[in-house]
Amino acid sequence: MRNNLLTTPRSFVQPALLLASLCLSTSLPLFAQPATPAAMPANPLLTESTLPFHYPPFDLIKDAHFAPAYEQGMIDERTQVTAIADNSAPPSFDNTIVALERSGQLLARVDRIFSNLAGCNTNPALQEVERDMAPKLAAQRDALQLNPALFARVLALYEKRDTLGLDPESLRLLERYHRDFVRAGAKLSESDKTKLKALNAEIATLQTTFSQNVLKEINASAVLVTDRKELAGLSDALIATAAAAAKTEGHDGQFSVHLVNTSGQPPLASLTNRALRERIMQASLTRGSHGGEFDNRAAVAGLARLRAERAALLGYPSHAAYTLEEQTARTVETVDKLLVKIAPAAVANARREAADMQAIIDGEKGGFTLAASDWALYSEKVRTARYAFDESQVRPYLELEHVLKDGVFFAAHQLYGLTFKERKDLPVYQPDVRVFDIFDADGSHLAIFLADFYARPSKNGGAWMNEYEPQSALLGSHPVVANHLNLPKPAVGEPTLLTFDEVTTMFHEFGHALHGMFSKVKYPLFSGTNVPRDFVEYPSQVNEMWAAWPEVLKNYAKHYKTGEPLPPALLEKVLVARKFDQGHKTTEYLAASLLDLAWHGLKPAEVPAADGVLAFEAAVLKKAGVDFAPVPPRYRSTYFSHVFSGGYSAGYYSYIWAEVLDADSVEWFKQNGGLTRANGDHFRTTLLSRGGSEEALVMFKKFRGADPDINPLLKRRGLDQAVPAK
């Protein structure tokens, strides 16, 4: 889940009792009786897949299968959990906690498959399923977590936890169940539980509305260009892609420039037509806030208010305080201290970068002041002038197949001994998806990996990892994981050439995949990436380092036509230029993080109405000192899917929090010999394989041998000379 692209964190699968995803559906009443076997059509979701590692039978699954499968899964889970709660035997770890971990497997399986497909290959039928099920699944979850008999059994075990003789992972599981029940409202009065259930249902519905509005407006906001001359600066391949998109949309002979979900848009780095750049940036920045059916201002205000009301009901001063309690940061004050420490230096750097660009504009007699729509193009001009190269020189050496096999896979082989074999016999949900078997160093079959790299209208923007099957020794399950990117698909017969940022994103997302594949825990609740939100990005950010590691880069950076390696002089420029534009990158990220914390730090009465959303946003940015017009937030509130529909509410800060750990870990790798099996095995054993079975910072210290140090991060971002010590 990479910071510079949208992450849709549907990938963090929880046990059915603790379902995180609400993107489910049913057309039946919540507590309907199951259909009789004779009346139920053949449904591949109702039984475990017989394919390797329970890989989903995508060729057999139809949209119509999901509603009845969810319904049956909900009934099964209720039946199983009721039996646990009503068990006449005294509560024991096995008949209560382990039984809960085993419960709801059908619902969990349906949830994983559906929510993953809804993120990467949606359609109107699946979107209707999302809308229908969101409040019903929230009610299902509440009915289980607010069950007094069930909580009584958990509480009885928790109170005598030190006498049960549990191993460390089992003790942590019991403590986690108790904590999650309490945080879900198990100790509330019956009247307050009723209020909480209503809030949860409203939140679930509104999150789905927000998410679907974002995707629909991205598709509706494509900028149509009638004259090819306006596209000057774009490569022939990208122009061909825009022409093909326009033709598909019924505009043959024109060009359709599609948006991604960040504020900045990739074509802005190349387009020389300023009017078109302004049109694209305007379309991007106004998404969800200019009226019409996809306007998200009411959803933003509604979600902020409902989350604040829920936090107050549960006894917390704000939703941010509620969220951060179970993160490694622990408190809002801790996060604020980090962001406030970095923000002034970041903005100062951004202003210096802007001055360099304005000098070029003035030198060209441009006659205008640098704006957000100009930044990417003139940043590239500064880069070219300063380092004597631009992205167009590098792209021919960054071809997708080489990057994947000779870069991402090569680094994983060198570090961990993994080998990869593509297979064509397993079904896929979309023709561009590729499937690989992954084998461990001893030759055993470790995992199945799906690679879904290309953008399409049915796919959420950004990049992310998800799990179709999580590892668990208790359930005997093995990982089936996927990576998703949104690379523009080239015309038929043309190569897929990447920017270095896109290469880094591939390494980042595969870092998440490794976290899932290396999981070696007993209980599903702790599997893979089921760790605190502000820790989950850390292993993936560490994996980014190998994209620029000389041994790895030289192995994959080869010209797609000639096979010639990236020239050493150009390679050196790429490496030196990696610190370039850090003021912009840090400022736009911090602005989004501060917006997230501001929205989720409000009390219910402080939340503005829909027509005050943009004014509130502007006031927050001004107060924090990051209201620098040429650098808008990476995400504005109305398309900030991370926090209003994606699970990162009061958690977007986690990228830079994790980068503190990442930068410090990179120093450790450098000090200990870099790309070696010994280093990889140490990282895997102490951290990647442990999932959430230990405290996050305890695992970090076991790996690093010391507490985290912020200085490597400050040095990396060029802030070490500008940040006052506190």
Cβ-Cβ contacts under 8 Å for 22 (sequence gap 6 or more): 133, 134, 137, 138, 204, 207, 208
DSSP H/E element including 207: helix 190-220
Query: What pLDDT shows up at residue 41?
Result: 60
Query: What pLDDT shows up at residue 187?
Result: 96
3-state secondary structure 668-690: HHHHCCCCCHHHHHHHHHHHHCC
Domain residues of the chain, as ranges?
16-197, 221-285
Give 667-695 pLDDT, tens digit per residue: 999 999 999 999 999 999 999 999 999 99
Paired tokens of 395: 């792209």
Q: Whats the size of the chain, residue-wise?
A: 726
Closest residue by Cα to residue 372 from 630, 635, 632: 630
The answer to whether the CB of 387 falls within 8 A of the CB of 576 is yes
Considering all CA atoms of the chain, what is the largest pairwise distance in Å, rounded to the nearest integer? 84
The answer to whether the CB of 632 falls within 8 A of the CB of 588 is yes
The catalytically annotated residue of 230, 353, 391, 509 is: 509
Angle, vertex CA 497, rays to CA 494 and CA 501, nearest 5 = 160
In DSSP terms, which residues pair with 451 in a beta bridge? Answer: 434, 483
- In which band, very low, low, confident or very high, does the pLDDT at 721 lie, cut at 50, 70 and 90? low
Query: What pLDDT shows up at residue 134?
Result: 87
DSSP H/E element including 278: helix 274-285
Please state, for a pLDDT cut of 90, what percent of the chain lies above it: 83
Query: What pLDDT shows up at residue 491?
Result: 86
The answer to whether the CB of 382 falls within 8 A of the CB of 542 is no
Please state, for a pLDDT cut of 70, what percent of the chain lies above it: 93
Paired tokens of 577: 């230029």
Cβ-Cβ contacts under 8 Å for 143 (sequence gap 6 or more): 78
Query: How many C-beta atoms lie closer than 10 Å to residue 424's C-beta?
Result: 7
In DSSP terms, which residues pair with 450 in a beta bridge? Answer: 435, 482
pLDDT surpasses 80 at 291: yes
The answer to whether the CB of 49 falls within 8 A of the CB of 91 is no
Closest residue by Cα to residue 79 from 20, 38, 140: 140
Q: Distance (Å, rounded) from C-alpha 213 to C-alpha 293?
A: 8
pLDDT surpasses 60 at 490: yes
Cβ-Cβ contacts under 8 Å for 604 (sequence gap 6 or more): 305, 308, 309, 312
Handedness of CA 122, 123, 129, 131 (dihedral sign): positive
Give 360-369 pLDDT, tens digit per residue: 999 999 999 9
Give 183-209 pLDDT, tens digit per residue: 999 999 999 999 999 999 999 999 999
Give 79-98 pLDDT, tens digit per residue: 999 999 999 999 999 999 99
Paired tokens of 156: 């009885």
Q: Distance (Å, rounded) from C-alpha 402 to C-alpha 563?
A: 10
Query: How many C-beta atoms lie closer than 10 Å to residue 138's C-beta?
Result: 23
Q: Distance (Å, rounded) from C-alpha 700 to C-alpha 705?
A: 8
The answer to whether the CB of 137 falls within 8 A of the CB of 115 is no
Three-state SS for 484? strand
* pTM listed for this prediction: 0.86
Q: Is 537 a catalytic residue?
A: no
Three-state SS for 636? coil
- Looking at residue 556, the DSSP 8-state letter turns out to be H
- In which band, very low, low, confident or very high, does the pLDDT at 245 lie, cut at 50, 70 and 90? very high
Query: What pLDDT shows up at residue 568?
Result: 85
Buried-state track 488-498, b at ≥16 Cβ within 10 A, e below 16: bbbeeeebbbb
Query: What pLDDT shows up at residue 179?
Result: 97
Query: What pLDDT shows up at residue 569?
Result: 86
CA distances from 218 to 14, 39, 223, 259 (A): 29, 41, 10, 6
Handedness of CA 274, 279, 281, 282 (dihedral sign): positive
pLDDT surpasses 70 at 450: yes
Pairing type for strands 480-487 and 445-454 reads parallel
Q: Distance (Å, rounded) from C-alpha 308 to C-alpha 607?
A: 9
Query: What pLDDT shows up at residue 341?
Result: 86
| Average pLDDT over all residues of the chain | 91
Question: In the predicted model, what is the mean pLDDT of residues 63-73?
Answer: 96
CA distances from 94 to 26, 91, 182, 291 (A): 32, 8, 21, 54
- In which band, very low, low, confident or very high, does the pLDDT at 580 lie, cut at 50, 70 and 90? confident
The answer to whether the CB of 500 falls within 8 A of the CB of 454 is no
Q: Distance (Å, rounded) from C-alpha 74 to C-alpha 9?
A: 23
pLDDT surpasses 60 at 445: yes
Paired tokens of 223: 């900028």
DSSP annotation string for 228-247: GGGGTTS-HHHHHHHHHHHH
- Least confidently predicted of 36-50, 252-266, 312-326, 513-527: 36-50
DSSP annotation string for 352-400: HHHHHHHHHHHHTT--S---HHHHHHHHHHHHHHHHS--HHHHGGG-BH
The answer to whether the CB of 666 falls within 8 A of the CB of 538 is no
Between these two residues, 674 and 385, which has the higher pLDDT value? 674
Paired tokens of 187: 């100790």
Give 119-132 pLDDT, tens digit per residue: 999 999 999 999 99
- Least confidently predicted of 36-40, 255-259, 520-524, 543-547: 36-40
CA distances from 533 to 596, 649, 650 (A): 14, 10, 10
Question: In the predicted model, what is the mean pLDDT of residues 330-349?
Answer: 92
CATH number for the region 16-197 comes to 1.10.1370.40
pLDDT surpasses 90 at 643: yes
pLDDT surpasses 60 at 149: yes
DSSP H/E element including 480: strand 480-487
CA distances from 124 to 300, 429, 562, 592, 643 (A): 23, 16, 45, 30, 24
Letter for the amino acid at 358? Answer: Q
